[in-house]
Amino acid sequence: MKGQVADTTLTGPVHALDVPAVADSVGADPAIGLSRAEAARRLVADGPNELASTPPKTWAQRLLEQFASPLVLLLLAAIVVSLIAWWLEDASEVPFDAVAIATIVAVNAGIGALHERRAEKAVAALQEMAAAQAGVIRDGHYERIPARDVVVGDVIVLDEGDAVPADARITESRALAVSEASLTGESTAVRKTTSAVEEDTPLAERTSMVFAGTAAVAGHGRALVTATGMGTEVGTIATLLESTERQPTPLEREIAAVGRLLGMAVLAIAAVVVGAIVVVSDIDSAGDVVEVLLIGVSLAVAAVPEGLPAVLSIVLALGVQRMAGRNALVRRLSSAETLGSATVICTDKTGTLTRGEMTVRELLVNDQRVDVTGTGYGPEGELRVDGVRANGEVLALVRGALAAGALASNASVRLEGDRWVAVGDPTEAAIVAAAAKAGVTRHSMAALHRLDELPFTAERRRMSVLVAPTEPVTDEPMVFTKGAPEVVLDRCTHEQTTEGPGVLSADRRDWWREGVDDMAGRAMRTLAVAGRAHPATRLDDESEVGLVLYAVIGIIDPPRDEAAPAVADAQGAGIRVIMITGDHPATARQIAADLGIGDPDAQPVVGRSLEDLDQDALAGVAATTSVFARVAPTHKLQLVEALQARDEVVAMTGDGVNDAPALKAADIGTAMGIAGTDVAREAADLVLTDDNFATIVAAVSEGRGIFHNIRSFLRYLLSSNVGEVMTMFFGVVLAGVIGLTAEGEAVIAPLTAAQILWINLLTDTGPALALGVDPVHPGVLRQPPRHRGERVIDAAMQRGIALVGFTMAVVTLLMFDAKNPGGLIDGTSDVDTARTAAFTVLVLAQLFNCLNARSDDASAFHRWAVNPWLLLAIAASFGLQVLVVYLPALNEAFGTAPLSLADWLWSTVLASAVLWVSEARKLVARRRRQLGTSDPGPDPGGRGS
């Protein structure tokens, strides 16, 4: 394994050790670092500071994966049987059956390999997170080296904007703040100190450590590297990602079950029919044996829906394209349907439900609460008091307070493209943005320059700056202080009012404290801003006393505007929304309450409390809790697995490195495309290109539409193939009854293998594809999600398939008997004409079945013209059948003969029986439902048909 971890097994975790103990553990001097020779030795011994990765799969490997489906294996077996029969028969012509089936299998494999790229690049994306360069101290001197050459024991130097190349113990901090949102989910920058923390401190609160893949946003510091490569916290996530198996989707499991069922059915039916032929026929030559084998092949061809894998892939691909048009990119075809089956959405908070941008929400000044509109770091927004735009004296107070806060900050904002971004600490950037909304910009304060600074530290919990006019004037320099309200308030003796500084009495202090508590109770981070004139040119502790309190500022990472409606839509669709975040419980609770997630009075469950729960207890907590806070990556993974153990279909959304294992383990992982990390995107099945939680609901709608369409074409394909199987089965078993014999032949089949394959190619492709693009009905979101254990092909659908298949067989054989001499109805045509008429009846019956198959209970005449592609496919299939009947070349290839107009009329009338029988069954089902005697609800897709 690449990378190394400090040897602290005897003394405890490095975050809980003091600096000398950590230095002893890694064998390095925090002052001068490692020698270059020692660093080189360690690099050779431990390997580079990078994450292990697996080689990407080749196209050949991806193609081979497509043949693992039982249905595809069944088709491959049909190819082998067809080739054997072709060789035994003559082998002088092209093996049309085998070539056609092989072509379909190859097309399906190509489509699957093209669209179903697995997430094998997830670890490679993690590796790209490492900083390209790192500043280190070696032999007492500062130098820049490639981040992959950092080793345990190196002293790294961190400045504002630097990426952290490895996990390290802080040895020196001057207001060092690190953004760890992508690793822990913490929305605010974490201030780092040299003080050790308790052993059981959660990852998000280990202020004595910095971690690979995070970035310094403020201050300066040094740290002693304690872990590199796979030994880092990011490496731990990479290990989880490698060991997390992706579960097959419900659709994949169902199609595999269909393939196994069809395989057993083919073997059983072929054995029965071939056995019956051997018993009732005179098999006395090799030619008779070949003929029996050809009938067996015909049965195999009839039983297997050759087009199903390809049609399934194409329909999913078309659905994926529609989702892409709605800003949802699907990376794995079968996942498109799974999202429509989701019963739970586990969502991250920071950057998913919220904007991931700190924003000043309100200020307290001079007995007034001033609301600040607008979100993010842009200048758009205004200041309001009681809903009215602030002006006059109140506006002057707010401008003064925000100007002081902006001056006492090191952050800035800038426009990148069409988006404002923070440069430096996000909290300070939020104050700068709020000042711009009040008309106070860096440009307007350009006449002031900074003389001195007392930086923010965890011990001081405040920052002060001394500023003075650039030009010599009579005004004294000013000290401006911002920090924790309880700290700043204790150093204030006055408060700013519209009439100037006023004495800060005990009652007024209580008023300010109550305001701070109110903001904190609404999940805001609070900062107090104060200042006073300062005659000296340097700052010390005494400079921060006797201050005038200007304002208390409330800052929050606000919910996205569209998040609350999206949550409501998801819940209306029967989908439970669970927030799983690494942020503070109070913040998580308030955001959840704002968005309508869970019980607003319930306390969030903290991730640490999950560690002592057994599997049953964890499943119980997952079933009843909607908000989880301070959650580590392993906790997210455990929660997803606990929900899946309760047969929930889990969609997991997230954007950070910490979300990747849970994204991969979930039934459908959904990553943010803009704010999301490469790791999250590569581990996910679905990527939202607009980072909009509402897009998930749109994708659910599309997913449910895809599922309805899959049911439609499965209903159509399987009922059609059952009709073909029954036609062949009863045609052989009842050959003597319907006159299905010919002089000199042991037995003949009602249809040839070529005709059966033509039917499958003709009706199982165009019409099935057209059923796959039925428009999604808006009412699909008003239906409850499909349960994990619910079959795609349920009992009602099975009964409908059997009834339609039986009806097809009856009318097909009836037409054959009516045209063929002998049997129950003595016809006058030859065998080829009788077979052509029966062949045509079966084709037309399947075209009528297109309209019937759109729903299990809705009438075929309900919005029958809503899908023009289906009508076009029916017309095209009918036209091709006409060509097969009348073109001499096709007559020769398929053993057909021209039909009369009367034959066409009778074929149409008999074939339409499929439609009328189904309409009668659906009518009975609807009446029973209205009377309350049928448990199943109506087919959701039926109302959309």
Could you tell me the CA-to-CA distances from 206 to 168, 212, 216, 551 in Å, in that order? 11, 14, 15, 31
DSSP 558: P
Q: For residue 543, give the amino acid letter.
A: S
The distance from CA 495 to its chain's CA centroid, rounded to whole angstroms, is 51
Burial 871-882 (b: 16+ CB within 10 A, else e): eebbeebeebbe
Q: For residue 14, give the amino acid letter.
A: V
* 348 included as an active-site residue: yes
Residue with tokens 């974490």: 190
The distance from CA 660 to its chain's CA centroid, rounded to whole angstroms, is 11
Q: Which of 46, 97, 149, 348 is catalytic?
A: 348
Q: Which residue from 667, 855, 668 is spatially nearest to 777, judged by alpha carbons?
A: 855
- Read off the tokens for 724: 């073909």
The distance from CA 142 to its chain's CA centroid, rounded to whole angstroms, is 44
Helices (H) then strands (E): counts for the chain = 32, 28
Q: Which residue from 115, 120, 121, 108 is spatially nearest to 332, judged by alpha carbons?
A: 115
Give the Cα separation of 423 and 426 in Å (integer).
8
CA 383, 384, 385, 390 torsion: positive or negative?
positive
Using alpha carbons only, give the angle 817, 820, 824 rounded to the nearest 5 degrees: 40
Q: CB of 675 within 8 A of CB of 692?
A: no
Write the DSSP string, 454-514.
E---TTT-EEEEEEEESS--SSPPEEEEEE-HHHHHHTEEEEEETTEEEE--HHHHHHHHH
Q: Which residue from 314, 313, 256, 266 is spatially nearest to 72, judged by alpha carbons?
A: 256
Query: 26: burial class by Cβ within 10 Å (0-12, 13-18, 19+)?
Result: buried
Q: Which residue from 561, 612, 559, 550 is spatially nearest to 581, judged by alpha carbons?
A: 559
Give the Cα separation of 199 and 201 in Å (integer).
6
Query: 910: burial class by Cβ within 10 Å (0-12, 13-18, 19+)?
Result: buried
- Read off the tokens for 866: 């809503």
Give the Cα separation of 362 and 377 in Å (integer).
15
Helical H segments across 129-232, by residue range? 181-184
Considering only CA atoms, give the Rg of the chain: 36
Give the Cα separation of 754 and 740 in Å (integer).
18
605-606 and 328-330 beta bridge pairing: unpaired
End-to-end Cα spacing for the chain:
56
Q: Hey, what's the torsion of the CAs at 632, 635, 637, 643, to 10 degrees?
A: -140
Report helix, strand or coil for 492. strand
Q: Hey, what's the torsion of the CAs at 615, 618, 620, 625, to 10 degrees?
A: -160
Q: CB of 684 within 8 A of CB of 119?
A: yes
Q: Which residue from 369, 350, 339, 420 is spatially nearest to 707, judged by alpha carbons?
A: 339
Q: Which residue from 234, 133, 124 is spatially nearest to 180, judged by alpha carbons?
A: 234
Q: Which residues contact 280 (CB under 8 A, 6 or more apart)?
A: 735, 736, 747
Quickly count: other Cβ atoms within 10 Å of residue 133's Cβ.
13
Q: Which residue from 301, 298, 294, 295 is spatially nearest to 90, judged by alpha carbons?
A: 294
Q: Which residues contact 569 (CB under 8 A, 6 or more apart)?
A: 694, 697, 781
Q: Write out the catalytic residue numbers.
A: 348
